[in-house]
């Protein structure tokens, strides 16, 4: 489970409200794309806002780690597809804004993905091959694909939930197959018409599903810091029942064993108490991140996403 997911989880558990995540991909005619990922969630009272702002002062150091993981992901996709790709201009910001319904904390990640779309000699742009293994939008998430000026859609898959002259948009919960979301775009002309294009699914290996989870559902570790502070305040306790480091330690052990491991082994290898491990797993289980089942006298923990 990523740091941003932990932050959103802690806010919901603390009674802060329902989170919202918005992804926007602004395509350029040269095949690059400006990505914007914005996580928004209600902060509630003034104290929560102050804690958020306090933690955001450490944003820069966490953004560096996020950038390294993002560059690694794009590099692996580039190698898989045989197309030059890179990441430029990563910028991560956190702020509190006033809305009609109260204060909202936002964590915004922006970067430019060079080589994101396939370019053709006739000017067409083809989007989708980078989504190796498909993509998952969770409940309360949306993805908007915005077109370059002067372009029109020839083919889109799957059918969008919303569309306009310059964009298509999908909302969660939705599970995209390999190679989707897919879009074939062409420079607008009076003679343009339906053109053939591959379907979104290409039958490739889904080996990059986990890296996509990193890019789309991860954000700077600062979010976990905010979560811990808010949890502490809400429960009026000297410390939370768990910390982001403890959650990370539990997930690290599960991943180390290929996504399936016994609960007792998690306790041994993390050095955490049985009660702490149990609390962390209950939260992760409730959020659909892990599942537990009895296997004799043991409890087997399986990573779901």
CATH code, domain with 273: 1.10.10.10
Residues 81 and 137 reside in one and the same domain = yes
Q: What is the pLDDT of residue 279?
A: 85
pLDDT of 72 over the 80 cut: yes
For residues 206 and 272, the model is more confident at 272
Q: What is the pLDDT of residue 297?
A: 85
* Domain extent for 183: 3-217
Q: What is the pLDDT of residues 131-181, one digit of tens each?
A: 988 888 877 789 999 999 999 999 999 999 999 989 999 998 888 888 999
pLDDT of 207 over the 80 cut = no
Do 169 and 75 lie in one domain? The reply is yes
Let me know if residue 280 belongs to a domain. Answer: yes
- In this structure, what DSSP letter does residue 181 have? S
Mean pLDDT value across residues 283-288:
75
Structure confidence at residue 225 (pLDDT): 45
Q: 96 with 190, same domain?
A: yes
Residue 87: alpha-carbon gap to chain centroid: 17
Both 9 and 99 in one domain: the answer is: yes
Question: Is a pLDDT exceeding 50 seen at residue 49?
Answer: yes
* pLDDT score recorded for residue 284: 80
SS3 content of the chain, % helix, strand, coil (to 5): 35, 35, 35
Q: How confident is the model at residue 62 (pLDDT cuts 50, 70, 90)?
A: low
**Average pLDDT, stretch 23-47?**
84
Does 121 share its domain with 30? yes
In a domain, 116, yes or no: yes
**Helix H or strand E segment including 247:** helix 244-256
Q: Are residues 193 and 296 in the same domain?
A: no
Mark whether 123 and 170 lie in a shared domain. Answer: yes
Q: Which helix (H) or strand (E) holds 21?
A: strand 20-27
Q: Is residue 115 part of a domain?
A: yes
| Residue 233 counted as domain residue | no
Domain count, the chain: 2
- Same-domain status, 52 and 197: yes
Whole-number average pLDDT of the chain? 75
pLDDT for the residue numbered 71: 87
In a domain, 223, yes or no: no
The predicted pLDDT at position 8 comes to 38
Instruction: Say if 162 falls within a structural domain.
Output: yes
Which residue did the predictor score with more confidence, 124 or 275? Answer: 124
Q: Is residue 270 part of a domain?
A: yes
Confirm if 43 and 101 have CB atoms less than 8 A apart: no
228, part of any domain? no
Q: Are residues 115 and 197 in the same domain?
A: yes
Condensed to tens digits (0 to 9), the pLDDT of residues 2-27 reads 444 444 344 433 434 456 788 999 99
Domain final residue, candidates 154, 184, 217: 217
């Amino acid at each position: 489970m990523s740091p941003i997911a932990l932050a959103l989880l802690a806010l919901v558990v603390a009674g802060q409200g329902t989170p919202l995540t918005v992804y926007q991909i602004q395509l350029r005619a040269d095949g690059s794309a400006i990505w914007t990922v914005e996580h928004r969630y209600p902060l509630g009272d003034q104290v929560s806002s102050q804690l958020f702002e306090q933690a955001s002062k450490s944003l820069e150091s966490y953004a560096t780690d996020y950038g390294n993981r993002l560059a690694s992901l794009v590099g692996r996709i580039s190698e898989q597809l045989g197309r030059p790709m890179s990441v430029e201009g990563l910028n991560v910001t956190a702020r509190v804004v006033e809305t009609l319904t109260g204060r909202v904390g936002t964590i915004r990640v922006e970067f430019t993905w060079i080589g994101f779309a396939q370019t053709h000699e006739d000017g067409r742009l083809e989007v989708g091959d980078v989504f190796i293994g498909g993509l998952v939008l969770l409940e309360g998430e949306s993805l908007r694909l915005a077109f370059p000026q002067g372009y029109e859609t020839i083919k889109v898959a799957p059918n969008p939930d919303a569309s306009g002259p310059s964009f298509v948009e999908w909302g969660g919960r939705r599970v995209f197959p390999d190679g989707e979301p897919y879009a074939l775009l062409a420079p607008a002309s009076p003679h343009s018409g339906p053109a053939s294009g591959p379907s979104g699914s290409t039958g490739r290996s889904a080996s990059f599903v986990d890296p996509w989870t990193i890019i789309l559902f991860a954000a700077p570790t600062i979010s976990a810091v905010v979560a811990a502070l808010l949890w502490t305040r809400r429960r009026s306790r000297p410390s939370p029942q768990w910390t982001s480091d403890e959650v990370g330690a539990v997930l690290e052990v599960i991943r180390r064993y290929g996504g399936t491991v016994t609960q007792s082994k998690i306790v041994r290898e993390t050095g955490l108490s049985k009660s702490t491990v149990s609390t962390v797993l209950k939260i992760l289980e409730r959020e659909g991140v892990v599942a537990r089942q009895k296997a004799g006298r043991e409890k087997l923990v399986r990573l779901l996403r």
